[in-house]
Amino acid sequence: MYRPIKKVVIVGGGSAGWLTAGVLASHFQSAERGGLEVVLIESPDVATIGVGEGTWPSMRTTLQKMGVSESDFIRECDASFKQGSRFDNWVTGDNDHYYHPFSLPQGFGDLNLVKYWQTVRDKISFTDAVTQQGQICDHGLAAKQITTPEYAFNVNYGYHLDAGKFAKFLQKHCVEKLGVAHILDHVTSINSRPNEDIESINSKHNGAIAGDLFVDCTGFASLLIGEHYKIPFNNLDNILYNDSALAAQVPYVNEDDPIASHTLSTAQSAGWVWNIGLPSRRGIGHVYSSKYISREGAERELRDYLEPIIGRRDAEELSVRSISFKPGHRQQFWHKNCVAIGLSAGFVEPLEASALVLVEYSAKMIAQQMPENREMMELTSKRFNDKFSQHWQQIIDFLKLHYLLNQRNDGGFWQDNRNKESVPQSLQESLTLWRNQAPWLDDAPHFDDLFSSASFQYVLYGMGFVSHLSQLTLRDEEAGLAAANGLFNENVKKTNQFLASLPKNRDLLNKIKTVGLKKL
Amino acid sequence: MTNYVVLNDNEHAKLKIVTERSASYGDGVKYTMTFPFEFRNIQACYPIFFHKDPESGAFYPVALFGFEDNENLFLSESGWDASYVPVMIKRQPFLIGFQQDADDPEAKNAVVSIDLDNPRVNEQEGEPLFLEHGGSSEFLQKATANLELIHQANEHSKKFIEALIEHDLLESFTLNIELNDGSANQLLGFYTINEDTVQQLSGEVLENLNQNGFLQPIFMVLASHSCLRNLIEMKNLRS
């Protein structure tokens, strides 16, 4: 007999566990009779790690589908609008900066603007030529207005959030609204079937908890996929050198200090400092490579970064939490009837906030491809592993691109990052092509790639890369030039409109706290 | 810009208010806020939709006069061509505000303010505010009563909106209008009541809406949509 899939057991809370629970329980109506049974067991005394406090725009859809009110989410998770990332000192280290915004370049689906921008690249940055979002961020403006409905945008956005509050918020929603069963208990051991499937997990006080599919959201502990199944780990520290982080929570000096609507990432001698503005505080941390700088040295650089923000005394006294990690991911994510989501599956530095989006994509794929029975699961798991290997490869390539193009001369970290041996073959091939053609729609190998070719454009041309484009004359050359000029002009017009009409990020967040956003 | 001050019979004894309707007196507006109590009169002349306050994002009902900014198709050489003029238009140049009572901190007294920069306000022509030997003119008494009415109506209107939201009756819509000359106009940023959702309401909900005085205005809004054709016709005649 085929074993139907009726019950999913998620091991581990935190944002990975609760996001997965929420996606599955709302998709399969766990609160209704006949819905999928979703159980989440988490240990009462394992502290969750707040991985990255930044999300992608995809989080809007993820939350909306779960039936979460955006106003509640913003209020309860100390959330703010994130419109992209700004990279300071990544190119030469001499006060350079560029943006990777969430908005696509103007007319991206119809025309590749790189060619036309390159003729004026000395006068205007790529971002400012093709999108409004860099300037909107520079002015500290929000991505929407109070009249814009929940989850809708004037310019594309994701969130900055307090990961601890987020997990609690999702927990409440999952348990109260979506019918997820929550068990607070310790996992003591695992019972296997003869085919090596997990039959149940033993818990200290609640006995054996059986299920058809087990989701490993146990963080770095990786209890099921790592400790139990011993799925090998792909270590990536030969490509992405960062393996340590120092994190601090930094108060605003004045209650009404502006809240940046982008993640600010500032290069240091052997890593970079993130600066994420939430309504009630900033999250600032230094992610670095322990091979190139000592913990003390990294802490010094972090405190030096903090000094102009909060003053010398506070910068010296602020408490700093230390985290170390192995950059990499499991060789497989779904093995037998167990799938790993979140840190248990893998982790790399939060340079492009890829942690939560991988959780969302994993949960979504499981929801959409949920196998009817255990026998079909063999095929589903194979496809899942192929898909997420592909996603990881793209993340690695994209992150490495940020380092590869640097022109800094201050120390081994930046120079070694340019070593060809440290660059994945796939990225080397792409780069070879990009020297003569600008990435665009057909450059993307898969329709569901995490990073669109627009993201590659922003980083390449933000970092000063030059594509020596084909000199062949195109049939519609003139029409293309006219269309490009039209789009550049439209961008100027839209930029002025948005700068005049969008509220300050903090003002809008304050207003949402009092009156909320409307659903329509 | 506006310049509202509290009205008093000492400083403002000589003021007069022009009551004529024209764009030069500030009547050239695309829409105005309206209230359920006047929907019966409004729906006879104007389409009723909902709009969001740009400051608070709160919905409020509006009577529509035109399709472009500052376009009021009801204004002509001879004034305002409609059998009913909305109270929010008639209230100009006054506002009602509330001041704490000096003797009783719980009580609040209504105070009338006047916009001294409003072009209707002058000392030469129009309706006087105060009588020659003191006391309010009949015009001012009527205006004050009108303001009190607006204040009460506003509270009721907020509850009406809450009920519409609670029962998912509001929906956004975009109106594309093609005029006889082929030009296209688009009406953006307005909301309306979804008739299908109204028809699916349970008897219990309908009873509740009716008891709160919300049912009739819902149907007045739906009925008002027929005025849209008239408005498009007026636009065609002008263009």
pLDDT at B160 over 60: yes
Has residue A256 been placed in a domain?
yes
Closest Cβ opposite residue B191 in set A515, A517, A520 = A520
Whether A502 contacts chain B with CB within 8 A:
no
Whether A481 contacts chain B with CB within 8 A:
no
Has residue A388 been placed in a domain?
no
Residue-range definition of the domain harbouring residue A284: 244-324
CA nearest neighbour of B60 among B176, B181, B184, B191: B191
- Residue B238 pLDDT grade (very low, low, confident, very high; cuts 50, 70, 90): confident
Has residue A290 been placed in a domain?
yes
pLDDT at B97 over 90: no
Domain count, chain A: 1
pLDDT at B135 over 70: yes
**Quick one: pLDDT at residue A135?**
98
- List the alpha helices (DSSP H) in A405-501: 412-416, 425-434, 453-462, 477-501
- Residue A303 pLDDT grade (very low, low, confident, very high; cuts 50, 70, 90): very high
What is the four-CA torsion angle of A22, A27, A32, A35, rounded to 10 degrees? -110
- List the alpha helices (DSSP H) in A121-253: 126-130, 133-138, 163-176
Please tell me the distance in Å from B91's CA to the nearest CA on chain A. 26
**Quick one: pLDDT at residue B183?**
87
Distance CA(A417)–CA(A241), nearest Å, equals: 8
Cα–Cα distance list, A509 to A101, A165, A520 (Å): 20, 17, 18
Has residue A278 been placed in a domain?
yes
**Quick one: pLDDT at residue A1?**
56
Of A64-73, A451-460, B11-20, B101-110, the range with the lowest mean pLDDT is B101-110
Has residue A357 been placed in a domain?
no
Section A382-402 average pLDDT: 97
Distance CA(A165)–CA(A159), nearest Å, equals: 13
Of A132-136, A289-293, A377-381, B127-131, the range with the lowest mean pLDDT is B127-131
pLDDT at B144 over 80: yes
Whether A510 contacts chain B with CB within 8 A:
no
Closest Cβ opposite residue B170 in set A145, A511, A520 = A520
Please tell me the distance in Å from A140's CA to the nearest CA on chain B. 19
pLDDT at A411 over 90: no
- Is there a contact between A396 and A373 (Cβ–Cβ < 8 Å)? no
**Quick one: pLDDT at residue A369?**
96
Instruction: List, for residues A164-217, the tens digit of each pLDDT value.
Output: 999 999 999 999 999 999 999 999 999 999 999 999 999 999 999 999 999 999
Section A297-322 average pLDDT: 96
Angle of helix A14-27 relative to helix A58-65, nearest 10 degrees, comes to: 50
| Contacts B57 to A, Cβ<8 Å | 145-147, 511, 515-518
Of A58-72, A102-116, A132-146, B100-114, the range with the lowest mean pLDDT is B100-114
Distance CA(A243)–CA(A252), nearest Å, equals: 28
Instruction: List, for residues A415-445, the tens digit of each pLDDT value.
Output: 999 999 999 999 999 999 999 999 998 877 7
pLDDT at A476 over 90: no
Closest Cβ opposite residue A518 in set B54, B57, B189 = B57
Distance CA(A170)–CA(A48), nearest Å, equals: 14
Cβ separation of B58 and A145 shorter than 8 Å? no
**Quick one: pLDDT at residue A83?**
98
**DSSP calls for B48-63:** EEEEE-TTT--EEEEE
What residues 77-136 of chain B have any CB closer than 8 A to a CB of chain A?
A: none
Has residue A300 been placed in a domain?
yes
- Residue A48 pLDDT grade (very low, low, confident, very high; cuts 50, 70, 90): low
**Quick one: pLDDT at residue A49?**
64
Please state the separation of Cα A115 from the chain's center in Å: 29
Distance CA(A339)–CA(A216), nearest Å, equals: 6
Distance CA(A160)–CA(A143), nearest Å, equals: 13
H or E, element range at B156: helix B138-166
CA nearest neighbour of A248 among A187, A197, A315, A155: A315
What residues 158-177 of chain B have any CB closer than 8 A to a CB of chain A?
A: 165, 170-172
Q: What percent of chain A has a predicted confidence (pLDDT) above 70?
A: 99
Which single residue is written with the structure tokens 């560029």? A98
pLDDT at A50 over 60: no
What residues 135-174 of chain A have any CB closer than 8 A to a CB of chain B?
A: 145-147, 149
Has residue A209 been placed in a domain?
no
H or E, element range at A377: helix A377-404
- CB pairs < 8 Å spanning A and B: 28
We report the CATH number of the domain holding residue A252 as 3.30.9.10
Instruction: List, for residues A236-285, the tens digit of each pLDDT value.
Output: 999 999 999 999 999 999 999 999 999 999 999 999 999 999 999 999 99
In chain B the first and final C-alpha atoms are separated, in Å, by 30
pLDDT at A51 over 60: no
Section A480-491 average pLDDT: 96
Distance CA(B177)–CA(A204), nearest Å, equals: 68
Give the mean pLDDT of chain A. 95
Closest Cβ opposite residue B54 in set A147, A149, A519 = A147
Distance CA(B35)–CA(B160), nearest Å, equals: 9
Distance CA(A55)–CA(A354), nearest Å, equals: 8
Has residue A314 been placed in a domain?
yes
Please tell me the distance in Å from B58's CA to the nearest CA on chain A. 8
- Residue B185 pLDDT grade (very low, low, confident, very high; cuts 50, 70, 90): confident
- Residue B70 pLDDT grade (very low, low, confident, very high; cuts 50, 70, 90): very high
Which single residue is written with the structure tokens 């502006």? A258
Instruction: List, for residues A100-144, the tens digit of each pLDDT value.
Output: 999 999 999 999 999 999 999 999 999 999 999 999 999 999 999
Q: Is A32 exposed, middle or buried (0-12, 13-18, 19+ CB in 10 A)?
A: exposed
